[in-house]
């Protein structure tokens, strides 16, 4: 499973002109299930995200986690993180999980966010979404469960 995590001061996702998810201080998580991914991959990525110390402490150093600052998550599915750009000019997405598997893992990931009592908003799986954010820092981190 792949995730691009951005520390934000605000973020929202809109579908058909309606805001369906928004957060203030926290993390925007763009999430992609890859072929072969299982629940353990989602657990690994969520564990890294929830514990990653990328929020400022009183000295201004990145030393606090999402849980330490009572931040929120906005989780948005994004299969294009599976892009293979090695050949030609048109990316290939065959490394992404099938839509059914991707939806199941996305739903599982979000349910685990709630289990951890993280304030979590979401996009809409498979929809044409417009994502707006104010990247704080900017801080952007890439996580891949294949790198564990």
Supply the residues annotated as catalytic: 78-80
Task: Please name the residue that has the structure tokens 């299930």.
Answer: 33
Show the tokens assigned to 110.
Answer: 């979000």
Residue 86, CB half-sphere, CA atoms under 13 Å: how many?
Answer: 5
Nearest to 14 by CA among 64, 76, 94, 93: 76
Q: How many CB atoms lie within 10 A of CB 7?
A: 26
SS3 content of the chain, % helix, strand, coil (to 5): 25, 40, 35
Q: What are phi and psi of 108, to 5 degrees?
A: -65, -45
């Amino acid at each position: 499973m792949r995730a691009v995590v951005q520390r934000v001061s605000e973020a929202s996702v809109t579908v058909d002109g309606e805001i369906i998810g928004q957060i203030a201080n926290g993390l925007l998580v763009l999430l992609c299930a890859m072929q072969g991914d299982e629940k353990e991959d989602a657990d690994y990525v969520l564990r890294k995200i929830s514990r990653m110390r990328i929020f400022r402490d009183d000295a201004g150093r990145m030393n606090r986690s999402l849980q330490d600052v009572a931040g929120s998550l906005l989780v948005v599915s994004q299969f294009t993180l599976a892009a293979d750009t090695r050949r030609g000019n048109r990316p290939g997405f065959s490394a992404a999980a099938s839509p059914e598997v991707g939806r199941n893992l996305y739903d599982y990931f979000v349910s685990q966010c709630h289990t951890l009592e993280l304030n979590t908003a979401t996009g809409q799986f498979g929809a044409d979404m417009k994502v707006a954010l104010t990247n704080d820092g900017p801080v952007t981190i890439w996580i891949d469960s294949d790198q564990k």
